[in-house]
């Protein structure tokens, strides 16, 4: 018998990881990021976490108490694109989701320390369940950007593909043995995949800030839940040309090049303008007027006296 080739061992490893994902709903992908990639991603993500997004400054979005959101992370650093197109991950996703799967969302957040169970047990509802004749497949890829020693991602092994995803009350899972729960305490740079129909949550308590990204992969032809259409959650990916050199045809498909299925022309978020937004806008304009006035007056004084 001839010695196994590099390609054999790659496929064998990827198939073994696929089997684990298929059986338990969750699997860790070893060595998905190099230390240099991780450091660069951490820097880029950290820059976005420095301040709230406002006017001409990029930053995080804050619509809830315990999380700072960073959307569209594929813009931020090459590593965020490379991990989505990692050969082992593609091999697994092709098998699990079928050849037409795409990356449909790439975002991350900083979770703030709290003892509140604000992101409890659930399966991710994303497709139109009334129209669905099956439990549609979706995989999330999780990337830890900080060491996670508390508030880890939790997943009930084997709970995937049992029913349409929904919120799950604590009482419904009270008899699940601890040994069935994957508590993903892991160092920064860890990457894992999970089937989002399985029951999962952000663990409590969160004792220190945690930074993590979650990517979403599914078949873009599946009809979305209306709420996700209204919020434009699965908008075409926002990409950065600097990171797209030499992408293969398959990678272009995964990144949704040219796909307009979920594009909404002239989209406006159906959110009423708040008093805070109006006041901030008015204050900002007042500041611009003052600056302009001061510049003109000092210019005139300089011309007269100077
Ligand atoms: O932040 C976490 O650990 C939980 C993430 C989660 O529940 C999700 O992405 O659906």
> 201: CA distance to ligand 1 center in Å?
5
Minimum CA distance residue for ligand 1 atom 6:
201
Minimum CA distance residue for ligand 1 atom 10:
124
Q: Is the CB of 214 under 6 A from ligand 1?
A: yes
Minimum CA distance residue for ligand 1 atom 7:
201
> 153: CA distance to ligand 1 center in Å?
6
Q: What are phi and psi of 60, to 5 degrees?
A: -90, 165
The answer, yes or no, to whether residue 24 has pLDDT greater than 90, is yes
pTM of the model: 0.94
The answer, yes or no, to whether residue 73 has pLDDT greater than 80, is yes
Residue 139 forms beta bridges with which residues?
195, 217
CATH fold of 6-254, please?
Jelly Rolls (2.60.120)
Question: pLDDT tens-digit profile of 2-15?
Answer: 666 777 799 999 99
pLDDT of residue 2: 60
Q: Is the CB of 210 under 6 A from ligand 1?
A: no
The answer, yes or no, to whether residue 219 has pLDDT greater than 70, is yes
Cβ pair 145, 80 in contact under 8 A = no
Minimum CA distance residue for ligand 1 atom 9:
214
> 15: CA distance to ligand 1 center in Å?
25
Of 198, 217, 225, 233, give the one whose Cα is nearest residue 131. Answer: 225
Question: pLDDT tens-digit profile of 75-114?
Answer: 999 999 999 999 999 999 999 999 999 999 999 999 999 9
> 101: CA distance to ligand 1 center in Å?
21
Cβ pair 125, 75 in contact under 8 A = no
User: How would residue 118 be classed by pLDDT, with cut points 50, 70 and 90?
Assistant: confident
Beta strands in the chain (DSSP E): 26-28, 67-70, 102-111, 138-144, 153-156, 181-183, 191-195, 200-202, 210-218
Minimum CA distance residue for ligand 1 atom 2:
202
> 298: CA distance to ligand 1 center in Å?
55
To the nearest whole number, what is the mean pLDDT of the chain? Answer: 96
């Amino acid at each position: 018998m001839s010695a196994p080739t590099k390609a054999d061992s790659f496929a064998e490893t990827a198939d073994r990881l696929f089997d684990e994902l298929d059986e338990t709903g969750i699997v860790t992908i070893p060595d998905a990021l190099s230390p240099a990639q991780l450091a660069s991603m951490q820097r880029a993500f950290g820059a976005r976490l420095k301040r709230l997004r406002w006017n001409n400054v990029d930053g995080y979005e804050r619509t809830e108490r315990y999380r700072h959101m960073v959307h569209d992370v594929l813009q931020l650093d090459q590593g965020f694109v490379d991990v989505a197109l990692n050969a082992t991950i593609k091999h697994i996703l092709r098998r699990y989701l079928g050849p037409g799967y795409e990356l449909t969302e790439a975002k991350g957040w900083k979770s703030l320390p709290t003892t509140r169970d604000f992101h409890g047990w659930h399966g991710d509802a994303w497709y139109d369940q009334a129209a669905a004749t099956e439990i549609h497949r979706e995989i999330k890829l999780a990337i830890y950007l900080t060491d996670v020693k508390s508030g880890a991602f939790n997943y009930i092994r084997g709970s995937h593909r049992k029913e349409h995803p929904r919120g799950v009350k604590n009482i419904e899972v009270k008899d699940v043995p601890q040994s069935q729960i994957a508590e993903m305490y892991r160092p920064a740079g860890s990457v894992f995949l999970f089937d989002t129909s399985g029951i999962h949550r952000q663990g409590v308590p969160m004792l220190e800030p945690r930074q993590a990204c979650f990517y979403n992969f599914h078949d873009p032809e599946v009809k979305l839940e209306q709420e996700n259409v209204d919020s434009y959650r699965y908008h075409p990916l926002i990409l950065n040309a600097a990171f797209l050199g030499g992408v293969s045809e398959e990678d272009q498909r995964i990144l949704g090049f040219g796909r307009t299925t979920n594009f909404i022309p002239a989209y406006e978020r159906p959110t009423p303008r708040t008093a805070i937004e109006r006041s901030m806008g008015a204050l900002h304009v007042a500041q611009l007027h003052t600056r302009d006035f001061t510049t003109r007056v000092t210019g005139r004084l300089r011309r007269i006296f100077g």
